[in-house]
Chains A and B, each alone.
Chain A
């Protein structure tokens, strides 16, 4: 954490949080080290791998490339905020049922990229899904199952997608 820091306020998974953030801290730094929320992962810290993907004001965003202080007042969702009690989001269920995660390190980011995408494009083609997930790398090579799982979630195989944006999940 940088020496010059301010108190940053934003909505995390629907709740207002206050956290100290330095000028050079990324949103990923603040989530993981400031708030102890380790579901967004650090894979490259350069915006290349997508392991740190969160949903920022309704769109998927790579939190390692976003300066934390620019999130002031915004809505940030991580995978922690998706499930409703024990009831998983259809995308989470689809990923699990299709056995998409292997080591699982890319999974939280992959979930958030898929959820943000389906919120905007609920009836995608397979090539659109591939494009939507193209910013998320999986070194184990689980791409095929991730794409199949998103298509299954879009078809409603795991229940209806929650209405509207992720803020209403």
Chain B
């Protein structure tokens, strides 16, 4: 036991101590190289033509004049993409097909000797749009007769068949009958941009052996490599990703924003190509933490025990799935919080709208749900006339409880966390709560 303690204490040599960052000197001297600092000889600049409408039909596109423009090495559209679908759920078009689905969607890309030459060429692309009626609001998108975001409809079908991702435990109707009070709440969260200091950027080139090399800001290099091998139709041994220090990601770099187009243009021109988003592009057109709507109906007894909970979730996924589905799964599993609720029903829906797609962002799917759940708990406490602390102690999970998806919990610290929060915020807890522990 003593030996074990000794070993463990060694592991915590650094806890509570100031440890210099291994890359700190590079940061304070300006020597750290970020992806946006990578420079190659003879490097071309990429700019893209983005759709100015929330939804449109591209009636015609003519890039012949742009291709002849001074300093231009390549202009590509969907016809030049070997496999025009990417992302974790590969339903996102690298360059737009006939119908564009969100404002700012990439339609064509130019590689030219300078920013000015690239922008001049973009202005020479002849494109005729028919603006179509979009749907922006997620609740309007699930209504009958709403404009269709995707040919297969606006609702994501879970397992290809179900409108809702369901969790069922016990019997909520019975639980509501047991309750002394019913409390209903509707909670919404808006969209949020990651806003890393370094905008998304890629530098792509062919090395001496003909391998396509991409300096990438990707937070998941191997995700991106596998995904884009398919887009480029290259075997993995012909595609190399170079990562490194990035100027912030916050989840936004789990989605591909520039690697695909920079890679395609490097293949098309045989020259190094740099594609960096402007701050406007990053803010307006990259993936975001997408909006959510939660409706929670709880039944609660006078003694503070939650007898039943029904949650209806609506996730506004934007125009393509990206990481929306993953967010919905995480949200559904955790929306009922750290509470042992015997009767529970969760119905999660995911809807497509004409907006930028739903990406990952710091605890995506989870913290939005916890905002709703925690506010709802305070309202439950008020309804019963107990303190916000008490309701959390009364309903807290213990070791050995089964969580809402049926997994037995081996490590639980809700009660200990509440005790610590109370101590740190100077709240006096009644003796019975101080005596509680997560071990039953």
On A, residues with C-beta under 8 Å from B are: 1-3, 32-33, 36, 38-46, 49, 51, 78-80, 82-83, 88, 92-93, 95-97, 99, 101, 103-108, 111, 137-140
Contacts and interface: CB of A to CB of B under 8 A. Distances in A.
B39 A97 contact: no
Given A41-B247, A45-B278, A101-B24, A80 B29 contact: yes
Contact of B197 (A38, A83, A137): A137
B39 A103 contact: no
Nearest to A36: B39
Interface in B23-58: 23-34, 36-37, 39
Interface string B228-253: 00000000000000000111101000
Nearest to B113: A1
B226 interface: no
B333 interface: no
A43 B28 contact: no
A95 B28 contact: yes
Contacts of B250: 139
B62 interface: no
11 contacts: A1-B114, A36-B39, A38-B30, A40-B30, A41-B198, A99-B20, A101-B27, A104-B23, A104-B26, A111-B28, A139-B248
Contacts of A99: 18-21, 24
Given A39-B29, A44-B279, A99-B20, 8 more contacts: A41-B197, A42-B199, A49-B197, A82-B29, A99-B18, A103-B198, A104-B26, A108-B30
Interface in B184-206: 195-199
Interface residues of B, number: 33
Say whether chain A's binding surface is mostly helix, strand, loop, or mixed: loop
Contacts of B33: 38
Nearest to A101: B27
A89 to B, nearest CB: 9
Contact of A92 (B28, B39, B116, B246): B28
B279 A105 contact: no
Contacts of B32: 104
Contacts of B278: 45
Interface string B1-29: 00000000000000000111101111111
B209 to A, nearest CB: 26
A111 B18 CA distance: 21
A147 to B, nearest CB: 16
A96 B37 contact: no
Contacts of A137: 197
Interface of B: 18-21, 23-34, 36-37, 39, 114, 116, 195-199, 245-248, 250, 278-279
Contacts of B36: 41-42
Contacts of A101: 21, 24, 27-28
A103 B33 CA distance: 11
Contacts of A106: 197
Nearest to B33: A38
B26, B37, B245 — which one has the most chain A CB atoms within 10 A of its CB? B37
Contacts of A140: 248
A78 B248 contact: no
A138 B198 CA distance: 11
Nearest to A108: B30
A101 B26 CA distance: 10
A43 B198 contact: yes
A52 B31 CA distance: 14
Contact of A96 (B24, B39, B114, B246): B24
A101 B245 CA distance: 12
A166 to B, nearest CB: 15
A96 B28 CA distance: 7
B20 A96 contact: yes
A21 B25 CA distance: 31
